[in-house]
Amino acid sequence: MEQKTVFIIEDEEDAAELFAEMMRISGFRVVKTSRSAPAIAMMTADKPDLVLLDIMMPEVSGLDILRQMRRDPALVNIPVIVVTAKSMPTDIKNSMEAGASTYLTKPVGFLELREAVERVLGANS
C-alpha cells in the first residue's frame, strides 16, 4: 500500500512538529511548511492526501489558502482538517463554508487527530 502524505501548514514550530510526529506514528509521510505563501505551489507539486491547516498564519490566512484550494481543480478534492486555537462558532462556520472537511480546536490530542484523519480519509476513499 502506498504511503499517504499529510501536508501540515502551521506557523508554530512546536505544534507543527507535534502534528508531524502524530502523523508519522500513524504511518503517514509528512510535508510541512511554516509559511502560508508557498503552500499552494507546494501542494500542487506534491499532491498530499490530506492537509492540516492552521487558520492564523502570518502571511496568507488559512481561510484564504482553503478558499484557493477549493477553486483549484488540482486541489479541490483534498480533504482539509482545520486545526486552530480559534473556537468561536463564527470561526468554525467560516472554515466549514470555505470548504474544511472538519474542524479541531487546539490543543489537539493524538486520538482526536487520528480519528479526524481516519474519518475524512475514509469519506474520500
- Read off the pLDDT of residues 82-96 as tens digits, 9 standing for 90 and up: 999 999 999 999 999
Q: Among positive and negative, which fits the CA dihedral 12, 18, 23, 29? A: positive
* Grid coordinates given for 1: 500500500
pLDDT recorded at residue 2: 80
Question: Residue 40's closest CA among 24, 51, 29, 30?
Answer: 51
Q: What is the CATH number of the domain that holds 77?
A: 3.40.50.2300
How many domains, the chain?
1
**How many degrees, rounded to 5, is the angle at CA 14 between CA 10 and CA 18?**
85
pLDDT confidence of 123, banded at 50, 70, 90? Answer: confident
pLDDT, mean over the chain: 94
Residue 117's domain comprises 5-124
Q: Among positive and negative, which fits the CA dihedral 34, 37, 42, 43? A: positive
